[in-house]
Structure 1
Amino acid sequence: MTIMDEGSGQDEALDATAEEDADLRVSLAGLASLATGEMTLSAMLTHVAEFAVAAIPGADGAGVTLMQRGRADTIVASADFVREVDAVQYGIGEGPCITAAAEGVTVRSGALGTDATWPRFGARVRKMGVHSALSLPLVTPLGILGAMNVYAHAEHAFDDRAVELGELFAVPAAVSVQNATVLAQALELAGQLQRALGTRAVIDQALGILMSRSGAGADEAFVTLTTLSQRENRKLAVVAQRLVDDAVRRARARHARA
């Protein structure tokens, strides 16, 4: 190789590094701009996976998995083939993401079909044309939330540079995922409380109707309502809502005749 060739090769390497750094910055900026309050948890995680593909050289697709009580709970993917690969992984209970989440370490393989670490998983995904995987644990002060799975069809697609960039991206990604998870849990709790309040209000209205019809006290009315619920094999709130609706219809009918 001539001196000029050596210089040209160095320049190309520097250009590639600069381009990869730029891709990482763009992905991190996109990650920071995600408005978690304006999208579902699944949509948020899907965007994280898409940004991971852009940030990590060699990636053809990525997925994000949250782990609850040691099991995959929420799984999203940037591409259909990733969803199929992860379905295999969680279906048989072995694979790079499961290892990364369980051990809290980065896992890489460039020849899944012959990797003895996950023989059943590797054999299956090789037939799907997927040969490389890079799984990064999503680690926060609260523990390991799950893992980010990055796949490629080519063999040995992820070099040390890809691992470095992936780990750099995974740190703020974990924070974003944690924030989105906390928000989703808070919204679900608020919804449960709202539904509980609505249910209690309907039951109270039904008790008032029974008390006014029979002159019974609150305890007697509650016994009557629970007896109806058991007899009809329906939830208390459903029976209460029927009583309220029936009372409203009767009141409207009397008003129409008046």
Structure 2
Amino acid sequence: MASEEQPDEALRSAEQREAEDDDLGASLRGLSVLSSARLPLTEVLTRVARYAVQAIPGADGAGLTLIEQHRSDTIVQTADFVGEVDAIQYGLGEGPCITAARDGLTVVSGSLGGDPRWPRFGGGVARLGVHSALSLPLVTPDEVVGAMNVYAYAKHAFDERAAGLGEMFAVPAAVAVQNARVLEDARRLAERLQHALDERMVIERAVGIVMSRSGVEEGEARSRLTRLSQHEHVKLVQVARSLVDEAARRARSRPHDRPLG
């Protein structure tokens, strides 16, 4: 009887592996689409985390942390419980994601409550019913851009195959995250440049209004605006915008010339 059951067990294992490979393939195809989708940064990160849940066997939820230079890290999650787990982790400053990002290595735990690497974190998370974690650094040739946390309620949910599939997924995931960050940085730069250009145009219009009203040269008009800014302790652009808005209100309040009939 035992010998007859072994082929069935082997068949189920092969079918399971095939299904897992299919899930990984679908997730990788999803990642490839993200590069051309031009979505907001947080949406890209959230989708990467969702694809991770699909790609890694045993996962119940995932979170992703993007390491941001000169800004607070961007953190997203696929489920509320992941947010609770990560809040404990980052609040304490210890946990698998922090270790994975710091060391640039895959971190696996099948019993967080008893894991000596993070005694404070593991105890708090175990009380939430979360026992397994797989954390993967998102590494590009230049840097570690972030880390991906995959969690499961069950103990020992992530075996070597799950970790291997996660590592296969993490390589293109890091590229997708890096591309999204570059695109977001470009957007932010464009917004700052446009804001600066808008402010300059407002100031130039205000200078023109002062020149027209007072009959002074451009340099003197600009000096008057600067002195007013210093006297009122407000930015030059605020003074200029007030002057431009006032001029616009005056123009709208004037009676329109009617054609002679």
The verdict on a shared fold, with TM-score over 0.5 as the criterion, is yes
For 2:232 and 2:203, locate their aligned partners in 1 and report how far apart those are by CA, in whole Å. Answer: 16
Counterpart AA for 1:50: R
Structure 1 residue 153: deviation in Å?
A: 0.8
Give secondary structure in 1 for the equivalent of 2:216: coil
Bigger mean CA deviation after superposition, 137-146 or 208-217 = 208-217
Task: Note closer, same or farther for the CA distance 1:42–1:155 as it changes in structure 2 (3 Å cut).
Answer: same
- State the distance in 2 between where 1:248 and 1:39 align: 38
Which residue of structure 2 lines up, in the alignment, with residue 226 of structure 1?
226
Superposition deviation, residue 51 in structure 1: 0.4
Match of 1:14 in 2: 14
- Structure 1 range deviating more: 219-228 or 60-69: 219-228
Instruction: Report the TM-score when normalising by structure 1.
Output: 0.94
Displacement of 1:255 in angstroms is 4.5
Q: Confirm or deny: 8 A CA contact 2:35 2:179 kept in the other structure.
A: no
Match of 1:40 in 2: 40
Give 1:9 shift. Answer: 1.1
Measure the CA separation in 1 of the matches of 2:232 and 2:257. Answer: 32
Residue in structure 2 matched with residue 246 of structure 1 by the alignment: 246
How many aligned positions are there? 258
Unaligned stretches of 5+ in structure 2? none
1:23 CA displacement: 0.7
Tell me which amino acid in the other structure corresponds to 2:30. G
C-alpha distance in 1 between matches for 2:37 and 2:252: 42
Q: Could you tell me which amino acid in structure 1 is paired with residue 3 of structure 2? A: I
Distance 1:125 1:233 in 2: 51
Coordinate RMSD, CA, aligned: 1.7
Residue 62 of structure 1 deviates from its aligned partner by 0.4
Tell me which residue corresponds to 1:157. Answer: 157
Alignment of 1:1-258 (within 5 A): 2-34=2-34, 36-69=36-69, 73-256=73-256
Structure-2 change in CA distance of 1:56 and 1:72 (3 Å)? farther
SS of 2:73 mapped into structure 1: strand
2:69 & 2:243 partners in 1: Cα distance? 42
Matched position secondary structure for 2:67: strand
* Residues 49-71 of structure 1, C-alpha deviations (whole Å, 9 max, x = no match): 00000000010000110113498
Once the 2 structures are TM-superposed, how far is the Cα of residue 128 of structure 1 from its aligned partner? Answer: 1.0
Contact 2:131 2:155 in 1 (8 A): yes
Structure 1 residue 230 displacement after superposition: 2.8
Query: What SS is found at the alignment partner of 1:194?
Result: helix
Q: Residue type matched to 1:225 in 2?
A: L
Contact 1:72 1:90 (8 Å CA) reproduced? no
Q: Give the fraction of aligned pairs with identical amino acids, expressed as a percent.
A: 58
Give the C-alpha shift of residue 232 in structure 1: 2.8
What displacement does 1:154 show? 0.8
- Secondary structure in structure 2 of the residue aligned to 1:116: coil
Question: What TM-score comes out, normalization by structure 2 length?
Answer: 0.93
Provide Cα deviations, 1:88-116, integer angstroms capped at 9, x if missing partner.
Answer: 11111111111111111001111111111
